[in-house]
A and B are shown apart, each in its own frame.
Chain A
């Protein structure tokens, strides 16, 4: 009895999961396939899955008019620096909250946590005015510095660091190490998985961020990928082919990185959430 039932269940489950899997990746496949179709074929009512007349002209046009590589490099640069900043600040603040005892610690931590709840729309306008007032408009420091601290990051790292046995820290102190050394040599190393989690989150968020770079960056050459994609689509609304190609440009590199580091991504996310 068990065998028949189990096989049936297994098969049904398998079919369902594969079906959902297909639904999951179908848009990507369709996008890539369409990007190789010439425009007249794209607008046909009766589509075939694979292009009847594959072409790379869409990519040529997109590359010519949509400064993809530039945007991509810019985005990598900014996302990387923001991530590094957040990793450092979250770890050090997490350490202070986790291992030190001082007056107001709990209140301060709750306040830091509560910053996660503030919707972007409340602060973005004044921040914009502030940046203007500082004279930082159209600079990358305006993109990086205001994001250097993250309530979420501090929360995450605090949870992790709390799990580090006090004994190790005390041992180092007895050995004569000062706090700076302890932090940089020991804590950092032991918080690796926490750091990996926040790094991934932060990188992804920054990579996707649209509004802030849109407002701050004026010079087209400095622009980031999401904004570039949006303005490109605004200008070339009918050139579906090159729009598809540009979108592929925006998505495929992320996928490549994801496939290379998928384990770290998923483990990092999972472990951080469980601890949270």
Chain B
């Protein structure tokens, strides 16, 4: 017989393996502000460490920590951490105006993405970057599935993206 119980992952291993994924996700959430993305992930990992005995034992620690990142992003706690002395990277914002030609579409989308309310932006990131189903998005955002769909629908309208997948 083999045990189906998952071996708890250590915090060190988790950080080593998934930090980059978390940063990429946070980067999408914050619309390309590398400084903020780094701060959010750093703060979330800080908090996660404190309760890692619990997080490390769940089936999908990444999903758990990703939810923490969404919560941090949606809360005001991250506001004060927008400026920081150490290694804060120039926001990606600066390069948007420089792109042209084939990149113009992306520049426009990024620009519009930044105008989205936080809930909508989070919903878009979870749907189109993390490829989560609506039910999971609703669970993470703490709303019902209809509301999650509504967030995405309104976001796509603002982004001027045709809802090919949603229709």
Do A and B bind? no
